[in-house]
Chains A and B, each alone.
Chain A
Amino acid sequence: MISITGLSKRFADAAGPAVDALSLEIGAGEICVLIGPSGCGKTTTMRMINRMIEPDSGSIVVGGRDVTRVDPIELRRSIGYVIQQVGLFPHMTIAENIATVPQLLGWDRARIAKRVDDLLTRVHMDPARDRSRYPRELSGGQKQRIGVARALAADPPVMLMDEPFGALDPITRASLQDEFLRILRELDKTIVFVTHDIDEAIRMGTRIAIMRAGRLVQYDTPEAILARPADPFVEAFVGSDRALKRLSLLVVSDHAAKDPPPGGAPTVLQSLNLRDALSTLLSADAEVAAVVDAGGAIRGTLTLDTIRAAGDLKTEERR
């Protein structure tokens, strides 16, 4: 869907290149997270995709079109854009904000009104109550919901998101991450997502591109990056708790044994991840947990040994 080849950019006043011969393939429906320390070129890379920044060399092909050969205005109208500070228009109502791109594209009123209401419902806002409110009346989390709805308005196949949850408190952030992950998957969008938060990257990404000094250091699935960091930089970047992070990607039901649990074993929900299950076992000082479904019915057992084996990065390496 997005194909980046040999992309470079050097800013006039900078010592080194911001982006240095970067190549990256992003498949349709992927959530590609660009991550790295400040100044690694992740935001610059993202902004070159919709030509907010013009590349010095290299090519970017989006949906078969070389972006440098498309009118930048038309290009930007066909790509969703969400930024950390949201940037809602303070003088416009929520509905007018969401209607921005459809209006620029010349949709008729009825179609725009319907689209606005559909999107408000999708991001869990109430159209009747919220469509005529103003941005200043919203909380930070609500603003970002509208920011995402606005970017989705003209149904672009590709979305660029620059630290969209960075300005939110941890609780709001976690719930919005889950919510948007679901929405974006439902809509089957291809997403380029910039963050500096490795936990967010692991949670949101189908693939993670780790960047350093304008170069791509490692590009792989979250599981693979946690299991096999390409070099000491990536290993340090993903953190010393990468084994635990990996457990958080694995679901209890995939690792439970069918055996009936012993009496008095602590229970864990089958939809939990192994990291939470491990925590339950440790706090109960137990070796075995009973796996239950949402209704409370026993589904099997999960042992500490199973978790240990699942989380063993060496096992993963041999596979």
Chain B
Amino acid sequence: MLADAWHYIVTHPTQFGTALGVHVALSACALAIAALVAIPLGLVVARRAGWALAAINAANVGRTLPSLAVLALAMPILGTGFAPSLTALTLLALPPILTNTIAGILGVDRDVVDAARGMGMTAGEILRRVEMPIATPIVFAGLRTSAVQVVSGAVLAAFIGGGGLGDFITAGIAMMAVPQLLVGAIPVTLLSLAADYLFGTLERRLTPLGLRAA
């Protein structure tokens, strides 16, 4: 069966390459946009009690929505294709990054912030020199969760014509063709593991030395 799947890839190189490319592009773009929105948003709302709570609640609601439902909801509004898939995946990627950014900033010891303020750091200096470096590992843990979610969630883009490796899986299921299904499923699994490994490594590398476990 694996040999059949491999044979399919070898005989359809362009098709496979395109699907893989679209899948990676969809995931990477969704993650990048989500990070560019969620991290600054998290930094801004974290120290404003009411806003932070509202943001975390909204994010939690977002998390409970099934990925397929988000994609299905995107279709009537945005139509089909790459753009609606990207939008839906971005929404999917936002909550973990947002909640972790807020948690990371709120996790900074209040005494440390008090000392920084008492020594004459401006709010911006406290954020850049103290809060952000200390929150970095937690923000990256959020990115890691989002990355894995987006890579697997991108499979569903096939349902609304977004392309990606999900095309092979849906086709494989529709035609009861297990090898074709595996052509989609195995690379997606490997991509998820790779994303997890990549962000796990970044999380460790970017943790300031003083905060690493001895």
Nearest CB of chain B from residue A153's CB, rounded to whole Å: 9
Q: Which residue of A lies closest to B130 (CB)?
A: A89
Complex contacts, A81 vs chain B, CB 8 Å: 115, 118-119
**Least Cβ distance of A149 to chain B in Å?**
13
Contact bitstring A70-113, B, C-beta under 8 A = 1, else 0? 00011111100101011111111100000011001000000000
When distances are taken between beta carbons in the complex, the residues of chain A under 8 Å from B113 are 87
Q: Does B50 contact A (CB under 8 A)?
A: no
A86 to B113, CA, bound (A): 11
Kindly name the residue among B109, B115, B129 whose own CB sees the greatest number of chain A CB atoms within 10 A.
B115
Q: Does B120 contact A (CB under 8 A)?
A: yes
The 0/1 profile, CB within 8 Å of B marked 1, for residues 149-179 of chain A is 0110000000010000000000000000000
How near does chain A come to B144, taking the closest CB pair, in angstroms? Answer: 20
Q: Are A83 and B209 in contact (CB under 8 A)?
A: no
- Alpha-carbon distance between A75 and B117 when the two chains are bound, in angstroms: 11
Residue of B at shortest CB range from A101?
B119
Chain A hits for B118, CB < 8 A: 50, 52, 76, 81, 83, 160
Q: List residues of chain B with CB within 8 A of the CB of A86.
A: 111, 115
Nearest Cβ on chain A to B160's Cβ, whole angstroms: 44
Interface residues of B in 93-129 (CB under 8 A from A): 109, 111-122, 125, 129
A interface residues with partner B (beta carbon < 8 Å): 50, 52, 73-78, 81, 83, 85-93, 100-101, 104, 134-137, 147, 150-151, 160
Restricting to B193-214, which residues have a CB under 8 Å from any CB of A?
A: 208-211, 214
Q: Are the C-beta atoms of B119 and A91 separated by less than 8 Å? A: no
Bound form: Cα–Cα A73–B211 in Å: 28
How far, in whole Å, are A75 and B133 apart by their CA atoms in the complex? 26
Contact between A134 and B111, CB atoms less than 8 A apart: no
Contact of A87 among B114, B120, B122, B125 (CB under 8 A): B114
Q: Which residues of B contact A (CB under 8 A)?
A: 109, 111-122, 125, 129-130, 133-134, 208-211, 214
Chain A residues near B208 (CB-CB < 8 A): 90-92
B116 touches which of A74, A85, A87, A136 (Cβ 8 Å): A87
Residues of A within 8 A of B211 (CB): 90-91, 136
Please indicate the chain A residues that have their CB under 8 angstroms from the CB of B210 in the complex: 89-93, 134-136
Q: How far is the CB of B135 from chain A (nearest CB, A)?
A: 10
Given contacts A91-B134, A91-B208, A134-B209, contact A83 B120 (CB under 8 A): no
Contact in complex: A87, B115 (CB < 8 Å): yes
Do B120 and A89 touch across chains, with their CB atoms under 8 A apart? Answer: no
B201 to chain A, nearest CB (A): 19
Report the bound CA distance from A93 to B209 in whole Å: 9
Q: What residue of chain A has the Cβ atom nearest to residue B214's Cβ?
A: A136
The answer on a CB contact under 8 Å between A87 and B133 is: no
Q: Are B115 and A91 in contact (CB under 8 A)?
A: no
Among B117, B120, B209, B214, the residue within 8 A (CB) of A101 is B120
- C-alpha spacing A83/B133, complex, angstroms: 22
Interchain CB contact under 8 A, A52 and B117: yes
A92, B112: Cα distance in complex, Å: 12
Query: A50 to B134, alpha carbons, bound, how many Å?
Result: 26
- Residue of B115, B122, B133, B134 touching A73 (CB-CB under 8 A): B122
Smallest CB gap from B209: residue in A: A134
Q: Can you offer 29 A-B residue contacts whose CB atoms are under 8 A?
A: A52-B114, A52-B117, A73-B120, A73-B121, A74-B120, A76-B117, A76-B118, A77-B119, A77-B120, A81-B115, A83-B114, A83-B118, A86-B115, A87-B111, A87-B114, A89-B115, A89-B130, A89-B210, A90-B112, A90-B134, A90-B208, A90-B211, A91-B209, A104-B119, A104-B120, A134-B209, A135-B210, A147-B115, A160-B118
Chain A residues positioned under 8 Å from B115 (CB to CB):
81, 83, 86-89, 147
Nearest CB on A from B108, distance (A) = 9
B120 touches A76 (CB 8 A): yes
Q: Residue of A at shortest CB range from B112? A: A87
